[in-house]
Amino acid sequence: MHCDTIVLGAGIVGVSTALQLQARGRNVVLIDRAQPGTGTSHGNAGLIERASVIPYSFPREIARLLRYGLNQQSDVRYSLKHLPKAGRWLMHYWRESGPSGLAKATQAMLPLIEKCVSEHDLLSEPAGMGGLIQDSGWIEVYRTPADFDKAQRDAVALAEYKLNYRVLDQQQVHALEPGLHSDVIGGIHWLDPKTVSDPGGLTRGYAELFIKRGGHFVIGDATRLRSTAGQWQVESQKGLIVANEAVIALGPQARDIFEPLGYPIPLAIKRGYHMHYAARDGQTMQHPILDSVGGYVLAPMVGGIRLTTGIEFADSDDPINEIQLRRCEAHAQRLYPLGERVDAEPWLGRRPCLPDMCPVIGPASRHKGLWFNFGHAHHGLTLGPVSGRLLAEMMTGEKPFTDPTPYSAERFN
């Protein structure tokens, strides 16, 4: 099978990239070892996060670091045997999270964040996925006056970004979500983001749109990509796929291709879990709810109320460890009336992260026709369509809507 471009990886980033290239006249084959939307794109909190203008940085406060060092927190957990392997990357992340590094990352990511909702809209409508997307935002809730006051100050500090939000007093937050425990004293309702009740289903809907428009999806091991006689080739269940260009959009598996090719990109994995619960006491959750102190999100999904955890630093292939999920579950049971677990076992996902908090989007400098689009960390769902657009503009010679320099793989050389 010959085509113009092979896109490796059928998560939200790969599917969106395939659609954006297809819209610009490229004949594209999308390849993955599993069906679209069944990997990391399946298990997130379902936020198209227009309000997250400040990247997730490494904490710098000594007291907070000491608490994390005890390894008893619900928002971050680490495996002792993994720390020696992750130490160099964590130090790089810590350095980049200083004031100047965080400011640089914030400005670099802002053009992508600003267009994340509108780029999803351009795909979700023709894909017929509007029923999975809500535009009522999400709510950050608080139990103590000190935490609530700090959250309000933090929101005011974001004034330059012109975000839309409401500060909710105790009566207002309970009116929006009657199931919340009575000790919730207030919240912040972020209005710009949209929310998705089935992120994996949305990705599959986008993939179906790609196929409907004439694209091809095939099952195969994308990590077996090779270059032969100036072309890129990969085996699939439908035979050999050959193209002049290839895009690595494999998220956490991207390292399996770029590392043997000699690219020193410091990609790391932040693991995370989710579990679905039945509603209890006749309650129906209307908005995703973030417990910023507990470090988890509760979100209404088609499969029940989904609890998504924060960060676990552990070897990518380590088995499921329920410690963090159980800690978050204990907090969540005191926040909202959760019923029994719905899933037979927790879902484990792997977020692909770079220490400077920016993805890699652009050409592989030493290999003609090879392109990168990975490392979106906590915002793969948010940034899939907009990063796909940026890469497609670069590949087809259009003027990029923003300067792609901050996302270049060359920044790590």
Residue 4 has pLDDT above 90, yes or no: yes
Q: Could you read off the pLDDT of 346-358 as tens digits, one per residue?
A: 999 999 999 999 9
Q: What's the pLDDT at 1?
A: 87
**Inter-CA distances, 26 with 11, 149, 190, 239, 301, Å:** 19, 51, 38, 20, 35
Measured in degrees and rounded to the nearest 5, phi and psi for residue 84 equal -60, -35
H or E stretch at 209: helix 199-212
Structure-block tokens of residue 274? 């989710």
CA distance 190 to 205: 26
The predicted model scores a pTM of 0.97
55-81+132-196+268-353: CATH class = alpha beta
Strand 268-279 versus strand 347-353 pairing type:
antiparallel
Average pLDDT over residues 188-203: 98
Q: What's the pLDDT at 175?
A: 98
Average pLDDT over residues 42-46: 95
Q: Could you read off the pLDDT of 66-99 as tens digits, one per residue?
A: 999 999 999 999 999 999 999 999 999 999 999 9
Strand 2-8 versus strand 289-291 pairing type:
unpaired
DSSP-assigned letters across all residues of 397-412: TPPPSS--GGG-GGGG
Q: What's the pLDDT at 188?
A: 98
Q: Give the start-end residues of each E strand in 261-408.
A: 268-279, 289-291, 296-301, 304-308, 311-313, 338-341, 347-353, 360-363, 370-374
Q: Tell me how crowded residue 1 is: count the other CB atoms within 10 A of its CB.
A: 13
Residue 6 CB-half CA count within 13 A? 32
Angle formed at CA 50 by CA 75 and CA 348, multiple of 5 degrees: 35
> Are the C-beta atoms of 115 and 122 separated by less than 8 Å?
no
CATH number for the domain running over 2-43+200-266+355-412: 3.50.50.60
Q: Residue 195, by phi and psi: left (phi above 0), alpha (psi -120 to 50) or beta?
A: beta
CA distance 292 to 67: 16
Q: Could you read off the pLDDT of 212-231 as tens digits, one per residue?
A: 999 999 999 999 999 998 89
Measured in degrees and rounded to the nearest 5, phi and psi for residue 58 equal -75, 130
With pLDDT > 90 as the criterion, what percentage of the chain qualifies?
A: 97
Domain boundaries, the chain: 2-43+200-266+355-412, 55-81+132-196+268-353
299 - beta bridge partners?
306
Q: Residue 362, by phi and psi: left (phi above 0), alpha (psi -120 to 50) or beta?
A: left
Q: Which of 64, 71, 77, 53 is nearest to 190 (CA)?
A: 53
Q: Which residues contact 338 (CB under 8 A, 6 or more apart)?
A: 277, 278, 279, 280, 298, 305, 307, 329, 332
CA distance 330 to 73: 12
Strand 289-291 versus strand 76-78 pairing type:
unpaired
Structure-block tokens of residue 359? 């993805």
Q: Which of 325, 326, 330, 277 is nearest to 300 (CA)?
A: 277
Return mean pLDDT, the chain. 97
CA distance 316 to 393: 33
Torsion of CA 103, 94, 388, 297, to 10 degrees: -100
Residue 281 has pLDDT above 90, yes or no: no
> Are the C-beta atoms of 373 and 391 separated by less than 8 Å?
yes
H or E stretch at 183: none
Average pLDDT over residues 288-317: 96
349 - beta bridge partners?
272
Average pLDDT over residues 203-214: 98
The residue type of 281 is D
Q: What's the pLDDT at 282?
A: 86
pLDDT band at 396 (very low <50, low <70, confident <90, very high): very high
Q: Could you read off the pLDDT of 321-331 as tens digits, one per residue?
A: 999 999 999 99
Q: Could you read off the pLDDT of 149-180 as tens digits, one per residue?
A: 999 999 999 999 999 999 999 999 999 999 99
**Exposed, middle or buried by CB within 10 Å (0-12, 13-18, 19+), for 256?**
middle
